[in-house]
Every structure is written in C-alpha cells, then in structure tokens.
Homo-oligomer: A and B are copies of this chain.
Amino acid sequence: MKELINYVLQFGNLNQQQIDLITSKATELQLQKDAYFSEAGKIARQVGFLVEGVSRVCYYNNKGEEITKYFIEENNLVVDLESFDNEICASAYVQAVTDCKFICFNKKDWQELLNTIVGWDTIVNKIISKALMQKVERRSPLVTEDATERYQKFLRIYANVVNRVPLAYIASYLGITQSSLSRIRKNLK
C-alpha cells in the first residue's frame, strides 16, 4: 500500500485523511502467471496498481498472431483505459506474465474517490497522460530502427523485465520472429 501512496504523491499532494480514504477502498488481488487482469471482449471494471510481478497488454492481430503491446512493471497503474472509461468491450488482454500482486479499486469506489477527493482527478490525469506519452515515445521510434537496435532499446527501457518474460513475448513486442530475436541475442554476446 505504501508503494501506491508514494507513487501517487509524486503527482500531487494529499492529506492524511484523503490517503486513508483511498486506502480504505483498496483491495489486494493476486494473479497467477498467465491469468488475466482484464480480457478482450469484456468491459474493464477495475483499476490496479502493480505491486509485484510483471504484466503485459496483448492482443491478436488480423493474422491471428498474439502481439505484446507493452509490458507493465512494478509500481505502475494497470487499467484498460478505453474500456474502463467508456464502458466498451476491451480489445486487448491484460495478463500476468509472472505471478502478480495488485492493489485494486473497483469502478464504483474509483468513481467515489474521484468525486470525493478534491484534486484526485488532476492527479489521475497526470498519471494517465504521462503513461500515454511514454507509450507514444516508446513505440514511435521502433518504426525507423532495425531489429537489433529495437532490442537494445528494449533492454534499456525494460532492463528489469528482460529476464522475467519469455523470448516470444519480447519478439512480438519488437515485431520480429522468435528466431530473429534469438539470433540477435547471439550476435550481441
């Protein structure tokens, strides 16, 4: 819980009463490896904060290939925004890549926090915008770079993730085949 509060306080101030209110709404969620936090075709009904483990967002492209859109590390918010905000079916899965521990808020409680805590919406907006900008910044450069450069950039961004996720997930994140990634790794050694 401490991790969540520290995280949030980076984006704005809250008094003890407000922190207590947030804490009182939080529940803990444990997911085993491969379990889904939210699923494509369903409406996302919770916001999570990843305390332990690695998750990923993935989907199936029009060729039926499973694509990892991005990885989520410890101390980050986890939510299918599009689905949660607009109450529409999600187009992607959020999946635990390792066993994961989340701090969770259901939609009703989350709404209540937004309505009750002055400034909470501003904090949430900052967090969301920052995360979105980060995604754009990470995804855009991939287009110009060759597979080796992409992998090296991946190593830097996700240094803490590399050794905890299967090669296949990384390959699909980078848009290359498993074999290519395997060869790239060999070349870099």
Contact = CB atoms under 8 A, between A and B. Distances in A.
A143 interface: yes
B175 A144 contact: yes
Interface string A53-94: 000000001010101010000000000011000000000000
A143 B143 CA distance: 7
A143 B133 contact: no
A67 B135 CA distance: 18
B81 A143 contact: no
Integer count of this chain's copies in the complex: 2
Which of A132, A142, A174 has the most chain B CB atoms closer than 10 A to its own CB? Answer: A132
A102 to B, nearest CB: 22
Contacts of A125: 125, 129
Contact of A136 (B67, B121, B132, B143): B132
A142 B144 contact: no
A33 interface: no
Interface string A148-189: 000000000000000000000000111100000000000000
Contacts of A141: 61
B143 A139 contact: yes
A9 interface: no
A144 B68 CA distance: 10
Interface of A: 61, 63, 65, 67, 69, 81-82, 121-122, 125, 128-129, 132-133, 135-136, 139-145, 172-175
5 contacts: A61-B141, A125-B129, A132-B135, A143-B143, A144-B175
